[in-house]
Every structure is written in structure tokens, then in C-alpha cells.
Amino acid sequence: MKKYFITGLLIWIPLAITFMVLAWIVGTLDAILLWLPNGFHPRDFIGLDIPGVGVLASLLIVFFTGLVAANVLGQKLVQLWEALLSRIPVVKSIYYSVKQVSDTVFSSTGQAFRKALLVQYPRQGAWTIAFLTGQPGGDAAYHLQGDYVSVYVPTTPNPTSGFFLMMPRADVIELEMSVDEALKYIISMGVVAPPLRRPASRAALLNE
């Protein structure tokens, strides 16, 4: 009896959580329709609300924004917009901080979150998964003697929060796993392990 109940939970819990996350995403993106003036909502034309219309509208807005910003005129408009934001003290700090992070993470030439690492944290002998985010900069780099790297250590099971560390390059180990595999490993609390890509003989040596 208990065995069947647990088996049913293992089937329904992932499905329920997946649908809850999707419903939250769709509901959040559908809220963009609230920006439309009265008379331009989809329900005004067809008489009912259709879930997912906001998702489609959001995707179209992002696509056409990128399309416009890709030409010379669009780039000029973006520059004017950023010049306007730079004149607002608090908004300037928030906007440019987020922009630098997004440019680094989503840029095809950037190295942020391109490599999964194995580091000792929070103490010697305790190992965890981290991601390479670059190299120390500014005044911090001036005070660090030697070759250091910047790493992000995510928390489990929520990898969106974590810790930023500057560690000697010699103290980090680059892993033979993709970022997606490393994230899945972290979110599952180590239950879903990525496949072993190293030769069996080398793996045996590492385990000794």
C-alpha cells in the first residue's frame, strides 16, 4: 500500500510542480495586457479572456524590440533612452548594474556561466558546484596577489540566490559537464547526477 502511494506521488508531484510553474509564468506574462487601454483588450473583441495571449504579446514585443534596435535608427533611439535614464540618479545605478550583468550573461562572446567548477566551500574539505563569472576587477583586483577568478556559488534548491567569491585559479577545478547539467545537479540536491565523461581508469584514480 505504502509502495503504491509513494509511486503515485513520484508521478504526480513533478507534474503538479511543472504545471504550477507554467501557470505562474503564463499568468505573469498575461499581466502585460493590463497595460493596454480600454477597448484594446482581447476580451473586447472576442468576448472572453484567452490564457497565453500575454505570452505571445511579450514574445512579439521582445522580437520587434530587437528587430528595431538592430538597425542604425534603433541604436540611436536606444542611446537617447539610455542618456535619459543616466540623468536620473537612482534609476541610473539600478539600470546600468542590471544592464552590465545581462550583457555579460547573454552575450555570445561573454564567459559568464559558461563553465561549471568544483570548489571547496564553505570550508576546506567540503566541495560544491560553482560557475565561472570572470576575473576580479577594480580595486579588488589590485589587492589580490596572484591569478584569481570570480565564481558564483548557487544555493540549493534555488540557484538564483548564492554567493560571489574571488578564489585562486589553482583552487578551482573545471568540470566536464555543461551549465545545464550542473544546474540540474544543484536543483535536485545531488540526486540527478550528470553522466560521467571521464575515462573509467581516471575516475577510479579520483575515487581512490
Show which of 55, 81, 107 is a domain's final residue.
81
Q: Which of 16-25, 36-45, 68-77, 109-118 has the lowest mean pLDDT?
A: 36-45
Looking at the predicted structure, is the pLDDT value of residue 96 above 80?
no
Q: Do 29 and 54 touch, CB atoms closer than 8 A?
A: yes
Same domain, 14 and 72: yes
- 33 in any annotated domain: yes
Strands 162-168 and 116-120: unpaired
Q: What domain range is 39 assigned to?
A: 2-81
Q: How many domains does the chain have?
A: 2
* Tens-place pLDDT, residues 145-175: 899 999 999 988 888 788 999 999 999 999 9
- 99 in any annotated domain: no
- CA angle, 167 as apex, 164 and 170 as ends, to 5°? 145
| Angstrom distance (rounded) from CA 184 to CA 156 | 10
Per-residue pLDDT, 87: 83
Tell me phi and psi for residue 13, to 5 degrees. Answer: -60, -50
Same domain, 9 and 72: yes
Query: What helix, strand, coil percent values describe the chain, rounded to 5?
Result: 55, 15, 30
- The mean pLDDT value for 24-44 works out to 70
